């Protein structure tokens, strides 16, 4: 069995920036165990598996795996999946690709300028954070947090970009929180509204370079804080990445560029 393979830098400003994702375009069914083994072998934060749904008129099933587990939602590998379909000649500029996923229906629009816009569910933190979780965050970050919220991920808000950059939480302390952690603050640059970092050692990803799913929480929060739906976010990992963001009711739209790093085939069987 031969599986077409692409490695694509998502939310990137050029080669070696953004978040690398592997995309496997499946021409037949494979088991979840094999998907997990391929993701472990790739050793990227996410490997996406894309398969056209028979009789759907061009919709695709999409699954995502870290090196250690399958996840419900992934933004950057969704963007990469749409770009891989374009590169494979299965979609073109102006098309909107529909995906069926564990996290619900998603879509990606291939913009005429080469960018990709993905449509994800907004995650608005409504429940107060429990005292134990808050204490674990304060220990991991040595205090200094202005406020903290929780939805799919924990989110700690700082007063400055400098504090986000300087944070150096130990992996053992991050694991005590129990769920992945977003750090965020207002951006210093005039053209950046907010900055962030994302840690997910419980999912096999110590620090993710650029995280679309985290922006499902970040965009509603900062849209409310700044009083407007259109925002620009920058994730401050070593690779960095920029996202043009918009809150659209109960959905979040994230636009970014994708750059192909390599393509080939995985041989199995």
Catalytic residues: 46
Q: What b/e string do you get for 107-143 counting C-beta neighbours within 10 Å, with b at 16 or more?
A: bbbbeeeebbbbbbebbebeeebeeebbebbeebbee
With vertex at residue 122, the alpha carbon angle to CA 93 and CA 85, rounded to the nearest 5 degrees, is 25
Tokens of 98: 């529909």
Phi and psi at residue 126, to the nearest 5°: -115, -30
CB atoms closer than 10 angstroms to residue 29: 7
Question: Tell me, what DSSP letter sits at residue 166?
Answer: H
Residues 221, 132, 187: CA angle, nearest 5 degrees: 30
């Amino acid at each position: 069995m031969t599986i077409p393979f692409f490695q694509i830098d998502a939310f990137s400003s050029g080669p070696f920036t953004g978040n690398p994702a592997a995309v496997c375009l499946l021409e037949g069914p494979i088991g979840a165990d094999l998907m997990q083994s391929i993701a472990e072998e790739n050793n990227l934060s996410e490997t996406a598996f894309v398969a056209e749904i028979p009789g759907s008129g061009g919709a695709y099933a999409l699954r995502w795996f870290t090196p250690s587990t399958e996840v419900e939602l992934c933004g950057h590998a969704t963007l990469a999946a749409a770009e891989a379909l374009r590169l494979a000649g299965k979609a073109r500029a102006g098309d909107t690709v529909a995906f069926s996923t564990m996290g619900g229906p998603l879509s990606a629009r291939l913009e005429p300028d080469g960018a990709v816009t993905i449509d994800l569910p907004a995650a608005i933190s409504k429940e107060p954070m429990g005292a134990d979780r808050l204490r674990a965050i304060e220990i991991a970050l040595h205090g200094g947090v202005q406020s903290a919220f929780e939805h799919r991920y924990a989110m700690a808000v700082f007063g400055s970009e400098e504090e986000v950059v300087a944070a150096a939480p130990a992996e053992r302390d991050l694991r005590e929180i129990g769920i992945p952690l977003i750090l965020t603050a207002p951006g210093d640059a005039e053209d950046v509204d907010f900055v962030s970092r994302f840690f997910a050692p419980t999912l096999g990803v110590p620090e993710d370079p650029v995280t679309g799913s985290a922006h499902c929480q970040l965009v509603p929060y900062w849209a409310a804080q700044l009083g407007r739906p259109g925002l620009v976010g920058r994730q401050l990992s070593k690779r960095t990445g920029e996202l043009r963001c918009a809150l659209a009711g109960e959905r979040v739209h994230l636009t970014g560029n994708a750059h192909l790093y390599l393509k080939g085939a995985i041989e199995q069987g």
